[in-house]
A = this chain, B = another copy of it.
Amino acid sequence: MTMVNGYEQSDREEKIDILNLESLEGRAKEIIPTGGFGYIVGGSEDEWTLKKNRDAFHHRQIAPKALSGMENPDLSTNVFGIPLKTPVMMAPTAAQGLAHSQGEKDTAKGVAAVGGLMAQSTYSSTSIADTAAAADGAPQFFQLYMSKDWSFNESLLDEAKEAGVKAIILTVDATVDGYREADIINDFAFPIPMANLTKFSEGDGQGKGIEEIYASAAQNIKPEDVRRIAEYTDLPVIVKGIQTPEDAIRAIDAGAAGIYVSNHGGRQLNGGPASFDVLESISKAVNGQVPIIFDSGVRRGSDVFKALASGADLVAFGRPVIYGLALGGAQGVQAVFDHIDHELEIVMQLAGTKTIEDVKKTHLLDIKY
């Protein structure tokens, strides 16, 4: 354990055995301090949307495929022109130092080891450059929480571009902090600085709650901001936090090069729909104009399959990776991806889908349970 400002960070670097990703939560809870764990695991209000994010995958079912004449399913894909060995990517997730002393650097290493894609968060514990360096050339995106201070945005975007990120993810569903009760119960303030905020006039986030940090960011985000960031960076801008077809179209009209369907893992607007339940309608509206990334509730290979079959091009998750990070560092992260890839591979074989493209063409059932 590494002790920072009275907060005990894991510094494990070891292989971990994984039965399933759901079971990691309980194991991680034993080693991540209460405040940090509550911040990671929690959702907003009574967590109804958080719970429905999981249940929703049962709303559609995968039919096994008989006599498919295939074997050795292939998980590789290519999205935004980037070749990847797995369609499962690391969602942008803040403050990974809460889980491990190496924070995003270890996550980046683990993701790189599986040939996957990682998105850095604005609120990372490690700097853009350090996290990028840890990936050793593997592809990364940078997620932007837009500041009210445009010069600060430019500074972050400059650094991200310098670090070679392939795209900017603009988060638009967090213009105010969701009402997260775990943070209130724990009176949680970040014990660890956020590396990218050291340039902020207000400081580095340390000692602040997430509500306060979000308040420093822009509440008012407009369509023009999408184009402005795209033009400034000359990188694809992916708009994250889309839950309706209308918003997807507006984002594309504003210049979005990708749509990221997410309800922030149930951490923002409680009382909204499960993210999976809105994916297909958004996908139909987007109609292939730009790639779609999906997250919120993904824990199983079958979840990944269902999301791809409902219109996603990439499927992201955060919490399970953070738990793997806490439990084993970069090797833990790698194990989490290896595990979900293994489950996905089984499902692909049983569903008779040789490639990710085959999965995307699969018709799911929608029996009501």
* Residues in A lying within 8 Å of B, measured CB to CB: 19-20, 22, 45-46, 48, 52, 55, 57-58, 61-72, 172-173, 175-179, 181, 184-185, 219-223, 225-226, 239, 241-244, 247, 250-251, 254, 263, 268-274, 277-278, 300-303, 305-306, 342-343, 345-347, 349-351, 365, 367-369
Take A175-B350, A300-B45, A302-B45 as given contacts and tell me if A269 and B72 are in contact as well, using a CB distance cutoff of 8 Å. no
- Copies of this chain: 4
Given A271-B61, A346-B179, A367-B277: A220 in contact with B66 (beta carbons within 8 A): no
* A62 B221 Cβ-Cβ under 8 A: no
Of B48, B52, B66, B226, the contact of A67 (CB 8 Å cutoff): B226
A346 to chain B, nearest CB (A): 5
Q: How far is the CA of A301 from the CA of B241 in the complex (A)?
A: 21
B66 touches A241 (CB 8 A): yes
The answer for the CA separation of A173 and B349 in the assembled complex, in Å, is: 9
Report the minimal beta-carbon distance from A121 to chain B, rounded to whole angstroms.
18
Partner among B71, B185, B301, B365 whose Cβ is within 8 Å of the Cβ of A179: B301
Alpha-carbon distance between A247 and B66 when the two chains are bound, in angstroms: 6
Q: Most chain-B CB neighbours within 10 Å: which of A244, A254, A369?
A: A369
Q: Determine chain A's interface SS by DSSP, over half rule.
A: loop
A45-B20, A175-B349 known; A219-B369 Cβ under 8 A: no
User: In the bound complex, how far is the Cα of B67 from the Cα of A37, in angstroms?
Assistant: 30
Residue numbers in B under 8 Å from A220 (CB-CB) = 69-71
A46 proximity list for chain B (CB < 8 A):
20, 22, 300
Please name all residues of chain B whose beta carbon is closer than 8 Å to the beta carbon of A179 when the two chains form the complex. 301, 342-343, 346
Q: What's the Cα separation between A349 and B63 when bound, in Å?
A: 36
Tell me whether A67 and B301 are in contact in the complex, defined as CB-CB below 8 angstroms, given that A177-B346, A269-B62, A350-B175 are known contacts. no
The 8 Å CB contact of A300, one of B52, B67, B271, B351, is B271
Q: A179-B346, A181-B19, A347-B269 are in contact. Are A239 and B64 (CB under 8 A)?
A: no
Q: Across the interface, do A219 and B72 meet the contact criterion of CB distance under 8 Å? A: yes
The interface residues of chain B lying within 8 Å CB-to-CB of A251 are 66-67
